[in-house]
Amino acid sequence: MKNRLKSHLEQALRQCYAQGRLHSGEVPEIQLDVPSHAEHGDFACNVAMLLARAEKIAPRKIAEELMAALGEGDGLWRKVEIAGPGFINFFLSNRCWYGVLDDIARAGEDYGRCHLGAGKKVQVEFVSANPTGPLHIGHGRGAATGDAVASLLEHAGYAVDREYYINDAGNQMNTLGLSLYLRYRELLGETLDFPANCYQGDYIRDLAAEVVASEGRRLLDLTEEQAVAHFARFGGERILAGIDDDLQAFGVRFDRWYSEQSLYDRGEVERGIELVRERQLAYEQDGALWFRTTAFGDDKDRVMVRSNGATTYFASDVAYHKEKFDRGYDLVIDVWGADHHGYVPRMKAVMTGLGRDPEDLQVILVQLVNLLRGGQQVAMSTRSGEFVTLREVIDEVGRDACRFFFLMRRSDSQLDFDLELAKQQSNDNPVFYVQYAHARVCSINRAAQEQGMQPPALGEVDFDRLVLDEELVLAKRLAQFPETIAAAAQSFAPHRVVFYMQELAAQFHSYYNRNRVITDDPETTRARLYLANCVRIVLRNALRVLGVSAPERM
């Protein structure tokens, strides 16, 4: 609809130039905004103001010329006017708005999808928590965000892969192995000092206890080095399996689990370092090998190979990102904790250094979750091992509320997550409010069915029966859904979908409360059922993007 208006405007502008009524020849991008006030119409265009400078005449004058060239617009609008400093305001015809109901009925599950991405390959890498402990709620927010962004991009026509990067190389796995080994020995009767830099959480003891149960004292015969290696492998696998379980319970599925260690095993890290050398971006200093990232905007060069010969995490990250693009992705998105924001410039520098556009790498930063219970802060500290796990929160408030709450705010701003509120079944709780709107339509359908009526199919509805303002407002809101998805996808911002749903649900609840869908008049009833079911379809599609269920009864 917006696009149709746009092409009308472009045509009018070209006509003005052709007829010599305007002279500059400039064709700016036509912008159409939905004004905040209804008296300014359905869409407002500012092109006359943009042209004012080049044309050197008053914007209202330009707007007049454009309006004259616009003509009737074959019934798309019922009124066009010039207002304020030179806005061109369009008032669309009701028939045109109710046409979106047919679009929705026709498209069904696909309503809201678009081809913005043109099939480009995108990888979204997220969670990627170290396999040294269970997922906590911070990871949960990353999981919800990454999954929703991936889903948004799918809806916008990108070919998306979800990937989890496993940091299974380096000394943290040794630390894990050592932590388990020491707890194992403790459980078998030794008293020893458990080092502060080892993992303190109870899950370490639990895992060690499993080993005691299955292996007994046998592993005491190993050398410490052998034992640590054994425990590291065992612990890593078990913890990763637990993470996978938690993510499945959360409804997140990855296309690929990518091991950092495999980069070493296949020589990718070596190849990455070679490439940096070939491009003359490496130099040696103090016995270490450095990547000259300062050449591309980083404020410090970065070490790839330490003076003791060990490669850094940065080196494998270079290799990993190089390898992502080798796999043919056009766009790579990393979802990171916001405390890693300092790493963005260096990774962008790596992109440039490797000959890619830095825009091909997008980093989404996810801020901390502040967990509350009835307004009171829940204490958390990863260091001491006292943290609230994702699993605990899913078990307590349910997957739907959990995902919804994680996505309610822009990902880069801190989030208050109140467990009591998330469990509450009232209008204070936004997730129930939205789901309830969906269930309510289903309930109306059931009531209609009992009276022998089916939700009407395409073409069975007389839109002239929709005469209420609220019905028009609902139709307009429904028409906005595809652009909401597109805009949210382009800015990697799932929270926009949340806000959209809350508005739509509020409008529907309000409509429902004031009017009966099922009336004495069969034609009116049909039209209203049709409208209500379009609301249901859009709510369901929106919830699906976020990974939240759309229940038929609650």
Partner RNA sequence: GCGCGAUUAGCUCAGUUGGAUAGAGCGUUGGCCUCCGGAGCCAAAGGUCAGUGGUUCGAGUCCACUAUCGCGCACCA
User: Restricting to residues 311-350, which ones interact with RNA according to CB under 7 A?
Assistant: 312-314, 338-343
Helices (H) and strands (E) in the chain, counts: 20, 15
Decide if residue 454 touches RNA (CB under 7 A). no
Task: Please give the Cα distance from 525 to 25 (Å, whole number).
Answer: 52
Measured from the CB of residue 511, what is the shortest distance to RNA in angstroms?
Answer: 8
- Residue 89 buriedness (CB in 10 A; 0-12 / 13-18 / 19+): buried
Cβ proximity to RNA: between 54 and 188 the closer is: 54
List the beta bridge partners of residue 366. Answer: 337
Cβ proximity to RNA: between 43 and 219 the closer is: 43
Measured from the CB of residue 188, what is the shortest distance to RNA in angstroms?
Answer: 29
Q: Please enumerate in sequence order all residues whose Cβ is within 8 A of that of 536, keeping only pairs 6 or more positions apart, or say none.
A: 438, 441, 442
Q: In this structure, are residues 290 and 284 in contact, taking their beta carbons and an 8 Å threshold?
A: yes
Measured from the CB of residue 428, what is the shortest distance to RNA in angstroms?
Answer: 5
Among 63, 444, 461, 539, binds RNA (CB under 7 A): 444
Among 11, 262, 376, 413, binds RNA (CB under 7 A): 413
Decide if residue 195 touches RNA (CB under 7 A). no
Decide if residue 383 touches RNA (CB under 7 A). no
Cβ proximity to RNA: between 217 and 383 the closer is: 383
Name residues contacting RNA, limited to 515-534 (CB under 7 A).
515-518
Amino acid (one-letter) located at 238 = R
Decide if residue 490 touches RNA (CB under 7 A). yes
The owner of tokens 């696009």 is 3
Q: In this structure, are residues 531 and 474 in contact, taking their beta carbons and an 8 Å threshold?
A: yes
Cβ proximity to RNA: between 211 and 291 the closer is: 291
Name residues contacting RNA, limited to 286-315 (CB under 7 A).
286-288, 299-300, 303, 306-308, 310, 312-314
Q: Which residue from 262, 272, 267 is spatially nearest to 314, judged by alpha carbons?
A: 272
Decide if residue 248 touches RNA (CB under 7 A). no
Name residues contacting RNA, limited to 45-104 (CB under 7 A).
46, 49-50, 52-53, 59, 83-85, 87, 89
Among 35, 358, 385, 398, binds RNA (CB under 7 A): 35
Decide if residue 128 touches RNA (CB under 7 A). no
Long-range contacts (CB closer than 8 Å, 24 or more residues apart) made by 379-384: 380/136, 382/136, 383/200, 384/200
Measured from the CB of residue 118, what is the shortest distance to RNA in angstroms?
Answer: 18
Among 14, 21, 373, 410, binds RNA (CB under 7 A): 410
| Choices 34-42, 208-216, 250-258, 347-355; region in contact with RNA by CB under 7 A | 34-42
Cβ proximity to RNA: between 46 and 145 the closer is: 46
Cβ proximity to RNA: between 211 and 482 the closer is: 482
Beta strands in 292-445 (DSSP E): 302-305, 331-337, 361-366, 369-373, 376-377, 415-418
Among 131, 142, 236, 430, binds RNA (CB under 7 A): 430
List the beta bridge partners of residue 334. Answer: 125, 363
Vertex 351: Cα angle to 349 and 357 (nearest 5): 110
Name residues contacting RNA, limited to 493-512 (CB under 7 A).
493, 495-496, 499, 502-503, 506, 509-510, 512
Decide if residue 211 touches RNA (CB under 7 A). no
Task: Please give the Cα distance from 419 to 407 (Å, whole number).
Answer: 15
Cβ proximity to RNA: between 292 and 496 the closer is: 496
Name residues contacting RNA, limited to 156-175 (CB under 7 A).
167, 169-172
Measured from the CB of residue 89, what is the shortest distance to RNA in angstroms?
Answer: 5
Cβ proximity to RNA: between 186 and 294 the closer is: 294
Q: HEC states along 104-116?
A: HHHHHHHCCCCCC
DSSP 311: B
Among 1, 41, 335, 478, binds RNA (CB under 7 A): 41
Decide if residue 185 touches RNA (CB under 7 A). no
Decide if residue 372 touches RNA (CB under 7 A). no
Decide if residue 258 touches RNA (CB under 7 A). no
Strand pairing of 361-366 and 256-259? unpaired
Task: Please give the Cα distance from 155 to 152 (Å, whole number).
Answer: 5
> Which residue blocks in 216-267 are alpha helix, DSSP H?
224-249, 260-265
> Which residue blocks in 19-136 are alpha helix, DSSP H?
47-55, 59-70, 94-107
How many residues make contact with RNA (CB under 7 A)?
Answer: 89
Dihedral-angle region of residue 481 (phi above 0 means left; psi in -120 to 50 means alpha; beta otherwise): alpha
Among 109, 190, 428, 462, binds RNA (CB under 7 A): 428
